[in-house]
Structure 1
Amino acid sequence: MKSPRSISRAICIAFAFANASAIGVPVIANTARPNIVLILADDLGYSDLGCYGGEINTPNIDALAADGVRMTQVYTSARCCPSRASLMTGLYPTQAGIGDFTTNNPSPTRGPGYLGRLNENCATLAEVLKPAGYGCYYVGKWHMHPDTGPINRGFDEFYGYTRGHSHDQYDADYYIRLPESRTKEIDPSADQYYATDVFNDYAIEFIRQGQQSEKPWFLFLGHSSPHFPVQAPADRADKYDAIYQKGWDVLREERFERMKQQGLVDGERWKLTPRSIVPVDRDDITNHFSGEDNPAWDSLEEDRKLDLARRMSIFAAMVEGVDQGVGRIVDHLQQTDELDNTLILFLSDNGACYEWGPFGFDGTSRRGKTVLRTGDQLREIGGRGTHQSYGSAWSNLGNTPFRLYKHFTHEGGISTPFIAHWPAMLGKPDKWVRDPAHVMDLMPTIIEAAGASYPEQLHGRSITPMEGTSLLPAMKGESLPERTIGFDHQAAHAVRQGDWKAVYSKRMPHELKWELYNLAEDRCEMIDLAETEPERLKQMTADWNHWARRVGVIWESETASKDDRSSSPFIAKQPLKITATVEASNPDGVILAQGGKQHGYALAFIDGKPTFDVRIDGKVTRVALTENAGGRIQLEATLTADLMTLRMGDQELTTRSPGLVPVQPVDGLSIGMDDRTAAGDYEPPNPFNGIVLKHGVSVLPASKKKRDASRSSKTIPSI
């Protein structure tokens, strides 16, 4: 029997629906407007949950999945803050102002898509739901810049943190209650504080406040778990030690088998990928595995295995903490007769995080080091004051069966589990939905469920129209319309059209180029069809360029400037191969450049002639071909310790090298111009007057170095 409060609330909702119908707001038939709970995990891998094949204990999330809908192809924007911006606004990240990361000092050359905070031309979920009569509550990690924080962007109540991507889970003083006039309803003592638990406490607290208001309510629970630092009370992790001492190779196979048994994976067509490559970076960051596959578990020494198993056990305990919070929410809603008409959505913000190499890190993510703990030190991992990650090989396990990780636009970086539970509307279907979707689709899904309206203007400002599409039809068994979905994150690009996906990576040891996959046949991206389907790839990369210009990834002149050092290839002390395919009738300007007035390189057309510049200690060495060109042009430049070479068709010219670039340049990779100080002998930005169709920067393999060193082709003195 329903409580008097529930009956009273139903009457209020009935009146609200009558008013909504009168003014033309869409209304879900045959049910009162639902409460909405959106739970976002941080850096959770595609297969970490039990209901997606994982060995982590997640019975409460699994129960939601068993009574709801599980989607297999929901995509993120490859990293936490752009994914949050997209989910929160129904737009692509650049349209909302957070193209890749939050910042206090946005670069004016990168355009409004990289403002580093939510802009004034988007509407948040709370700004859409509050006018529809919803109370709006936020718990946990914000990460869309504190100046555009939750209270400023429509939420009524907040507990969590607005600064930074992560923090010590035991540091009670860091987590805040907003509005500032509020006092903390829940305030554990410092020695009992653990953020994941307190976030779960506040989720229940805010649900109670919403229920007491007798309005429909919306709760956004943005966990920071299981993002690094991996931290959890030691006794919660102990039960996982034996499991993870089996190692990532065995566990990847076991997950893959469970995924097939669950019906998630097509056992005939999906193939488990090999261990993924460790991205190219400094040796200390990559544990000396830069550009190599993650190591076999059995190749490691016993002490290293125990250290790594403990790190993963802590990670698993964090995921289990998120699951326990889901269980508490479901129990409370059952006890208050509100579970059936509450839409619960669960997902992650990107694929599992590789940072750093296979051994993880201790300390901050760019300035830490890797520490091997042994004996009694193992139980210190994940404790108060620690800051550790679990590394690229465990991340590869988390993304089973896909390639690569967070930051990348291959399936391992952008695929998330996605669960929807709403018995009053969906029943209890226990089914997989295989339509491609994106986190920007949550805004229109929630709008349709809530009977809300998306504004054309907000606070006197024009609002960018939604990009997403409602997922409710797919959840109810209908097919979604085919569409183009674009991706970009710091020089990693992708475009999805139907079953086809074109993807361009970064920080890889091989030649960087667009790859093409038929995901219906090859979801794990094992068979590159770029050479067998060249026209399809050409059209899809052209469509990506059109999309990138439309949504602000590429801004003004044909440039996709990347001035964040972490977005650029690692070139320090590396022999390099630089390639580009361009189109221009009378080409002129910089095709690509990395570095600046001290060190770097540039591939350009100067006075209509192809040039390759290398700058070392401020001095430029140039190779320039003598013939002009037009139309579609392919260029290749190489730099070794001895020689630098430029090729265009049958033309080739080599000169003595000034040496390898001695340090990683401060100025990042620019495409279509040189957007900071000049890496070559020209005045920046010197934008290219054509189209850069393809470009690549890769490290030369050893055999190539030897070939170039012994080359007998025409050599000229340095100029």
Structure 2
Amino acid sequence: MTTRLLARLSLAMLLMFAFACDRIATAADQPNIIVILADDLGYSDLGCYGGEIKTPNINSLAANGARFTQVYNSARCCPSRASLMTGVYPSQAGIGAFTTQTPDRNRGPGYLGRLRDDCVTIAEVLKPAGYGCYYVGKWHLHPETGPIKRGFDEFYGYTNDHSHDQYDADYYVRLPEGRKKEIDPSREEFYATDVFNQYAIEFIRKGQASEKPWFVFLGHSSPHFPVQAPPERADAYDDTYQRGWDVLREERFERMKQIGLIDSERWKLPPREIVPVDRDDIANGFPGQQNPAWDSLDADRKRDLARRMAVFAAMVEGVDEGVGKILGHLQKTGDLDNTLILFMSDNGACYEWGPFGFDGQSRRGETKLSTEDNVRSIGDRGSYQSYGSGWANLGNTPFRMYKHFTHEGGICTPLIAHWPAGIGVSEDWIRKPAHLMDILPTLIEVADAEYPTTFNGTNITPVEGTSLLPVMRGENAPPRTIGFDHQAAHAWRDGDWKAVYSKRMPNELKWELYNLADDRCETNDLAEQYPERVEAMAAAWETWAERVGVVQKSKAKSNKNAVDVKAQSMAPSTQSPRVANRPLNVEVTIRSDKPHGVAIAQGGNQHGFALHFINGHPAFDVRVNGIVSRITSEATVTGTVTLKATLTEDAMTLSFNDVDPIVGRSPGLIPVQPIDDLSVGFDDRSAAGDYPQNNQFNGTVLKYSVNEFAVPHKRHFGDTR
């Protein structure tokens, strides 16, 4: 062996040794990570964002870390969680609308209702980098793709549904199967928020004992409805909320100015927000109207509402107390400086359903007025109540609209980052636009991890988010575009410009346009002033929606209204025709290349009817006493089609484009007025026909009529709840 070759081998070995030592040093320096996610927390509910709720521990995180002003979510809990957990848009993660046991396969893999196999979770990315991974609380990414299956080592909480009674100890589980509950309070002492906080510390201890870096995800269900908290915790807030939402909105807005969160010259507090259009009883008698002035309410109603908000505030305070205990433990064990803590919310404050909220799991306008004697029972064991749209409007101060919507009040979240050894203290607010899908890329950079191109033999969707670590450290970020869609509420942000297409509004819907640099509160719609910009942004939204699987690719690009076709955005009517004990005459005109889904429906799983399409075949369903009768055309239709259907005591008929009708046996007239309202473009709530719930239409409904109830022109409403 020559001297030169020996020298080269020695150099190579030295370089390999140096690289290995560098990797060891990097691994030793990997920070621990805690992500804390609140549920339905409004933008300004926290004290450090201007709220009156006591959150001293979260305030401490903000004061000693970095605070963001323009971080976006995906408008609702499970789509936001899917995006946060995977670093991609919700539809790319498989939860484009909501988790479900009966996915609509015709809408593609974006609507599986569970996590897709071609995305990876934070745990699946961090474990190969040496992390122990732990999850506490609400999963809501479908039990079939539960936390243990998707990379977490330990879990305590619940994997099914969006919420549950905080006092029901038996509902919450410890995983993997066979694990004994380390923390198991008696049923009398059990309160889920407190137990989640305790398990977060328990899992931190496990991570510390492992001598590996660790990642803990604390996914609270608080303060999501049902609003529940021990009464003595809520008592402290009664007097505060008796003052009402009008006064408190003004006070929050002033505090936001004082702490430098908002630009007092450019931010204008909007009027009280509208109650979204819905059935009159659900909207508490205010569909499409402003939330009422607090002073217009009588004393009993004020007392009832103040208590609901007091319970909500107590839930938020419970989350904050857990943050304090976690900080205390980290300080005591010497891990605080090298632990990255992120705190955020999954969507804006929840309006469901009107200014008085609801009582009962059906959420069907069953709001009861509490008396002076039983007002402290609000939030008790077994209760199921919300606080309503008036308080949600306060929670989202100063933004418009709520959870479910893509105005700023629905999709903007507080985000706080705390990592003394890694980012220090940011002197000012971070005003760069960001999204929850940026969390995973941020953690990849922080942990020196790698995002895989394949996982378990499946090609993985490239990450959509971008690391926030540079902006946390004071660096600039380039302008970016971000797309939004949640059940027919759409938005497209491009730099400072934002286009919004909403739903459940009292007027005919259209794309709105705002310059957020000048008008962050969306009070001045510039759509008529800049029509070309609106058209360009709507087209950009369409391109994005097809790319990420919000809508299926279509041949309708030559159609000027292609965005409307893909938006699939119809909604329940606020006036439904009377159909009980009378013949039906239903007509609907649609346009679609290969129609599928519900064109028009009224009713639900007991009584109702639907005109719909099954892979291009027209169908007419009538449901009586829970049983569906159907007639279907063997012909496949395309383009512009008019369906006509009738129901009498003797027969049901179906025809399209005035060809001879198909005749079937009648189940009889619909015996009672259906509870579920008329829906156009999908089937709201439970299914009137024999198809998956919702079953959204993939085209445009041009006009429709039911008996004498008619809309003779195309109108886009927007919603699938």
Give the TM bin, normalised by the shorter chain. Answer: 0.7 to 0.9
Amino acid at match of 1:138: Y
1:601 deviates by 10
1:590–1:214 distance in 2 versus 1, CA, 3 Å: closer
Residue 384 (structure 1) shift? 1.0
1:131 equivalenced with 2:137 (yes/no): no
Paired residue for 2:538? 541
Query: Which amino acid is the alignment partner of residue 573 of structure 2?
Result: F
SS in 2 for 1:407: coil
Aligned match for 1:236, one of 215, 223, 233? 233
Give how far 1:665 is off.
6.0
Check if 1:426 corresponds to 2:423: yes
Measure the CA separation in 2 of the matches of 1:369 and 1:240: 25
Aligned equivalent of 1:570, options 561, 573, 589:
573
Between the aligned partners of 1:231 and 1:686, the Cα distance in structure 2 is: 38
Residue of structure 2 in register with 1:530 after alignment:
527
Query: 2:286 matched to which residue of 1?
Result: 289
Cα gap change, 1:685 to 1:156, in 2 (>3 Å): closer
Unaligned runs of 5+ in 2: 1-15, 557-561, 579-586, 603-607, 619-635, 659-672, 713-721
Name the CA distance, whole Å, in 1 between partners of 2:22 and 2:551: 38
Does residue 594 (structure 1) correspond to residue 600 (structure 2)? The answer is yes
Letter in 2 for 1:203: A
Cα offsets for 1:529-559 (capped at 9, x unmatched): 1111111111110000000000001014359
CA contact (8 A) 1:572 1:662 kept: no
Work out which of the residue numbers 49, 53, 64 in structure 2 matches 1:52. Answer: 49
Could you tell which deviates more after superposition, 607-616 or 552-561?
607-616
CA pair 21-152 structure 1, distance change in 2 beyond 3 A: farther
Matched letter for residue 401 of structure 2: L
CA distance in 1, matches of 2:481, 2:569: 28
Q: Which residue of 1 aligns with 2:681?
A: 669
Q: Is residue 490–residue 567 contact of structure 1 (8 Å, CA) maintained in 2?
A: no
Q: Distance in 2 between matches of 1:450 and 1:76?
A: 23
Is 2:353 aligned against 1:350? no
Greater Cα offset, 480-489 or 137-146: 480-489
Residue in 2 aligned with 1:451?
448
Q: Secondary structure at the match of 2:374?
A: helix
Residues 28 and 685 of structure 1: CA distance in aligned 2, closer, same or farther (over 3 Å): closer
Q: SS of the residue aligned with 2:310?
A: helix
Q: Which string of whole-angstrom CA distances, capped at 9 and with x for unpartnered residues, describes residues 610-652 of structure 1?
A: 777776757789999xxxxxxxxxxxxxxxxxxxxxxxxxxxx
The CA deviation at 1:282 is 1.5
**Is the CA contact (8 Å cut-off) linking 1:562 and 1:568 kept in structure 2?**
no
Matched residue, 2:664: none
In the TM superposition, residue 483 of structure 1 has moved relative to its aligned partner by 1.9
CA shift at 1:591, angstroms?
13
In the TM superposition, what whole-angstrom CA distance separates every residue of 1:557-609 from its partner, at most 9, and x where no partner exists?
3599999999723354379xx99999x9xx9989994338945799x9x9999
Q: Corresponding residue for 1:370? A: 367
| Residue aligned with 2:373, SS | helix
Summarize deviations over 1:221-267 as a string: whole Å, max 9, x none: 00000000000000001110000000000000000000011111111
Per-residue CA deviation, residues 470-520 of structure 1 (Å, 9 max, x unaligned), is 001111111222221100000000010000000000111111111010000
CA contact under 8 A between 1:563 and 1:669: conserved in structure 2?
no
Matched-pair contact (CA < 8 Å) for 2:405–2:502: yes
User: Displacement of 1:319 after TM fit?
Assistant: 0.1
Q: In the aligned structure 1, how far is the partner of 2:341 from the partner of 2:95?
A: 26
> Which stretch shows the higher mean deviation, 591-600 or 352-361?
591-600
Structure 1 unpaired stretches of 5+: 1-17, 625-660, 679-683, 700-704, 709-719
What is the TM-score of this pair, normalised by structure 1?
Answer: 0.80
Decide whether aligned partners of structure 1 residues 590 and 176 sit closer, same or farther in structure 2, where only a CA change above 3 A counts: closer
Cα displacement (A) at 1:687: 7.1
Alpha-carbon distance, 1:290 to partner: 1.0
Q: Structure 2 CA distance, aligned partners of 1:315 and 1:55?
A: 12
Contact 1:564 1:668 (8 Å CA) reproduced: no
Task: Tell me the SS of whatever aligns to 2:537.
Answer: helix
Matches of 1:63 and 1:543 in 2, distance apart? Answer: 41
CA–CA separation in structure 2 for the residues paired with 1:696 and 1:448: 49
Post-superposition Cα deviations, 1:90-124, rounded to whole Å, max 9, x if no partner, equal 00000000011101110122111000000111100
Q: Encode CA deviations 1:306-340: one digit per residue, 9 max, x unaligned.
A: 00000000000000000000000111111111111
User: Are 2:511 and 1:505 aligned?
Assistant: no
| Paired position in structure 2 for 1:308 | 305
Give distance in 2, aligned partners of 1:73 and 1:697: 39
TM-score by length of 2: 0.80
Aligned-pair distance for 1:425? 1.2
Say which SS state the counterpart of residue 285 (structure 1) adopts: coil
Partner of 2:514: 517
Letter in 1 for 2:261: L
1:404 correspondence with 2:401: yes
Matched residue, 2:252: 255
What is residue 184 of structure 1 aligned with on the other side?
Answer: 181
Tell me the residue number matched to 1:627.
Answer: none
Correspondent of 2:86 among 78, 82, 89: 89
**What are the within-5 Å matches in structure 2 for residues 20-419 of structure 1?**
22=20, 32-367=29-364, 369-419=366-416
Is contact 2:542–2:566 with CA below 8 Å preserved after alignment? Answer: no
Secondary structure of 2:48 counterpart:
helix
**Greater CA drift, 557-566 or 537-546:** 557-566
Secondary structure at 1:345 match in 2: strand
Paired position in structure 1 for 2:622: none
CA contact (8 A) 2:597 2:612 kept: no
> Which moved further from structure 2: 560-569 or 448-457?
560-569
Counterpart of 2:479?
A: 482
Supply the AA of the counterpart residue of 1:507: R
**How far, CA to CA, are the matches of 1:565 and 1:288 in structure 2?**
28
CA shift at 1:53, angstroms?
Answer: 0.4
Query: Quick one: distance in 1 between partners of 2:103 and 2:22?
Result: 41
Q: What is the CA deviation profile of residues 52-99 of structure 1, one whole-angstrom value per residue up to 9, with x for unaligned ones? A: 000000000001000111000000000000000000000000000001
360-369 or 204-213, which moves further after superposition?
A: 360-369
Which amino acid in structure 1 is aligned with residue 333 of structure 2?
Answer: T
CA distance in 2, matches of 1:299, 1:28: 62
Secondary structure of the structure 1 residue equivalent to 2:380: coil
Pick one of 459, 464, 471 that aligns with 2:461.
464
SS in 1 for 2:429: strand
Distance 2:678 2:566 in 1: 8
Contact kept, 8 Å, 2:568 with 2:698, in 1: the verdict is no
Whether the 8 Å contact between 1:251 and 1:397 is mirrored in structure 2 is yes
Contact 1:503 1:515 in 2 (8 A): yes
Query: Which residue number corresponds to residue 3 of structure 1?
Result: none
- Mapped partners of 1:318, 1:545: distance in 2: 39
8 Å CA contact retained: 1:78, 1:408: yes
Q: Match of 2:504, SS?
A: coil
Paired with 1:19 and 1:175, the residues of 2 have a C-alpha distance of 48
Say whether the 8 Å CA contact 2:67–2:415 is kept in structure 1. Answer: yes
How many aligned positions are there?
A: 630
Q: Work out the CA distance in 1 between the residues paired with 2:568 and 2:224.
A: 22
- Distance (Å, rounded) in 2 between the aligned partners of 1:566 and 1:543: 18
User: In the aligned structure 2, how far is the partner of 1:567 from the partner of 1:356?
Assistant: 19
Q: Tell me if structure 1 keeps the 8 A contact 2:599–2:697.
A: no
- Give the Cα separation in 1 of the matches to 2:338 and 2:383: 41
- Inter-partner Cα distance in structure 2 for 1:484 and 1:26: 38
